[in-house]
Chains A and B, each alone.
Chain A
Amino acid sequence: MELVFKKTTGLKDTPTHYCPGCTHGIIHRLVGEVLEEMDILEDTVGVASVGCSVLSYEYFNCDMTQAAHGRAPAVATGLKRVLPKDRFVFTYQGDGDLASIGMGEIVHAAARGENITVIFVNNAIYGMTGGQMAPTSIIGQQTATSPAGRDVALQGSPIRVSELLATLDGAAYIERVSTHDVPNIIKTKKAIRKAFETQKKGLGFSMVEILSTCPTNWGLDPIESLNWVKEKMVPVFPLGVYKQKEGVN
C-alpha cells in the first residue's frame, strides 16, 4: 500500500497529556513538521516553559532544556549565544508564562534581536493552574480569578504582545495566527516555517503568536472553543504580520 501520511519525526512517539480539543497538540505537530521538513531536528535545542506545555520536552524529538516560569527567553539567549552558529533555538511559551511573569525576559530578548524563534501560544487563560485570568484574558471573560468577568477598571485590558514587540527594532518577524480552522492551521504552519527561516538567515528575533483553545478551563466543548477563538479572540487579537524585516520571506 502506498504511504500517503505519516507522523512527523519532529515529535517522539509519545502520547501527549493535553485535554481533548486542546490545540497545543496541533501546534506541537506543526513545529515538529517544520523542524523535520527543514531537516534541522539534529541542530535544534528547544526550551520548554512552565504551563500546560511544560512537558513539551517529552514530545519534541530534539534536545530540550526546561526553563523556570517566564524565563525561557533568557535561557534561550544563554543557549543561542554559546552554541555553534548553525544551531537553532526555540522557546515554546504560553501567555501566562510569556506575557505575565516573563514579560521582562521576552521584551529584552526581542530588543536585543536574539536570533531565536518564539512559539507563543495564546489561549487567554492560565491552563495548567486551573483557569485563572491571564494578561491576555479578554474583557468580560470569566475565569477562576475574574469570576465576575475581566473588568477594565479592576484588572486592566488584555495585552497585545505581537503589537507590543513589533515596536522593537530587534524584532525581525512577528505574526499572529490562529488554529480555529484548517485554512488558519495551514497559515500557522507557514508562519512557523518563516520564523525558523528568519533564524536560519540570522535576521534576529522571530515570534509566532498562535491563538489556541482551552476547552477545559473555558468550560466549552471543543467545537464551541474553536468558535470562541474565531468570534471572541480574533477581534481582540487581529491576525496578521506585525513585523517583517527586509530579507524575511
Chain B
Amino acid sequence: MAKVLMKGNEVIAEAAVHANCKYFFGYPITPQSELVAYMAKRLPEVGGLFLQAESEIAAINMVYGASSAGVRVMTSSSSPGVSLKQEGISYLVGSELPAVIVNVMRGGPGLGSIQPAQSDYFQATKGGGHGDYHIPVLAPASLQEIVDLMHDAFDIADRYRTPVILMADGMLGQMMEPVEFKEKQHVELPEKDWATTGTRGDGGPKIVNSLRLDPKELEEHNRHLQKKYEKIKEKEVRYEMYLAEDADYIVVAYGTVARIVKNAIHKARKEGIKVGLIRPISLWPYPQKPFDETREKVKAYLTVEMSAGQMVEDVRLAVNGKSPVHFYGRTGGMVPSHEEIYAKIMEMVGGES
C-alpha cells in the first residue's frame, strides 16, 4: 500500500480498524477528539459501530459489555478522561476482559492544559485503578510505529485477556506524518469461549465477573493474574536502542521526547561525545535488558520526560545503583527542545568525566 499523509489521532483510529477492531465507545476531549470523530465516520463503513457515550465512565463500561460479548473493542481519551475510566479498567482486569484503551496525554493535574505531556506514566504503569494489577502499556514515538503497534496491542489483549493501554501524547495525536498500512500476518490467538453471548449450543451458562467473596478464591485469582504478568514480562518487552553500542552516556526517553532526544544526541556526537538512547516502547513491562547490557560501561544515564519525574524511578530500578541517573523534565504541557536536552547532556558529561 502507498504511503498516506495523516494526522496522529486519525492514524490511531485507522490502525485500530486495520487491527480488525469494529467497535468503539468514546467521549470527546482535546487533544484526541479527531480520533473519536474519525471512528464515527469510519466504523459504519466496515460494518462496525461507533457510539458516543454520555461520559468516559459509561464509555469504558460499554467497552466492558462489548468485550464480554467477545468482540475487539477500543476506547480513547486524554488524561482527565482516563482518570474517569480507571474504575472500568480495574473491572476489565478483574474480569479478564481484553480491550485497548488509548491515552493521548495532556498536562495535569486537574483540568491542566490541552498541551502534550507524559505525566500519566505512574497512572498507566503502576496500576491506576484499585487492586493489584498491571496493564501492558505501549508507547509509540512515530505515527508509523502506531500503525505497527496497534496490531500488537489488540493481540496482546486477546492473548492474555487483559486491557492494553496505548500511550501517546498530544504531540503525536496532533502531528502529521506519512504512514503505510501493511497487511498483517495471521497470528494464533486463543478462542474466546468465555464470552457471554447466550448459551445457544455451548453447554452451561457462562459468567463474566470480578467478584470473589471467598478470600482464598480471590487470592487464587490474584496469583493467577500475577503469573500472567510474569509471562507478559517474559514475552512482551519492547524497546529501541539507538547509538547505544559504543555510548559512554545514555539518555532514556519514550514517545515524542525520544525523537527530540535523538537530535540532541546527534549534536553531542558531532562534538565527539558518545551518547546513545534507550527508548522503552513497552512502558510496562519495563525493559530491563538494555540497562543490564549498558550499566557496567556507561558513565551516567539521563532520563528526559514531559513530567516532573515518573519514568525516572523505573530507570533507577533498572540501573540499580550501578551508575548515576540524572533527570530532566518539563511539565504543564511544555515540550523540551533539543537545545535544552543537549545542554543537560553536556552538564552530565561535565559532571561525570
Contacts and interface: CB of A to CB of B under 8 A. Distances in A.
The interface size bin for chain B is 35 or more
Interface residues of A, number: 39
Interface stretch (A41-49, A168-176, A238-246): A41-49
A96 to B, nearest CB: 16
Contacts of B95: 65-66
B342 interface: no
A108 B56 CA distance: 13
Interface string B227-254: 0000000000000000000000000000
B133 to A, nearest CB: 15
Interface stretch (B61-69, B170-178, B280-288, B315-323): B61-69
Given A45-B198, A108-B53, 14 more contacts: A45-B69, A61-B205, A65-B65, A65-B207, A67-B91, A78-B64, A78-B73, A79-B66, A79-B69, A81-B23, A81-B51, A82-B49, A82-B69, A104-B57
A148 B208 CA distance: 41
A26 interface: no
Interface string A69-92: 001001111111111100110000
Contacts of A47: 65
Given A63-B206, A74-B65, A105-B61, A83 B73 contact: no
B200 A43 contact: yes
Contact of A54 (B57, B201, B208, B211): B211
B58 A62 contact: no
Contacts of B51: 77, 81
Contacts of B88: 68, 71
B306 to A, nearest CB: 32
Nearest to B64: A75
Given A68-B87, A82-B69, A77 B62 contact: yes
Interface centre among B61, B65, B68, B69 (most CB of A within 10 A): B65
26 contacts: A41-B199, A42-B201, A45-B197, A47-B65, A62-B205, A63-B198, A63-B199, A63-B207, A64-B196, A65-B68, A65-B207, A66-B208, A67-B61, A67-B65, A71-B87, A74-B57, A74-B58, A74-B59, A77-B51, A79-B65, A79-B66, A79-B68, A79-B69, A81-B23, A82-B73, A108-B58
B54 interface: yes
B337 interface: no
A28 interface: no
Contact of B211 (A41, A62, A66, A82): A66
A78 B196 CA distance: 12
Interface in B7-29: 23, 25
The 7 A-B residue pairs with the shortest CB-CB distance, nearest first, are: A78-B65, A74-B61, A78-B62, A78-B66, A63-B196, A75-B65, A108-B54
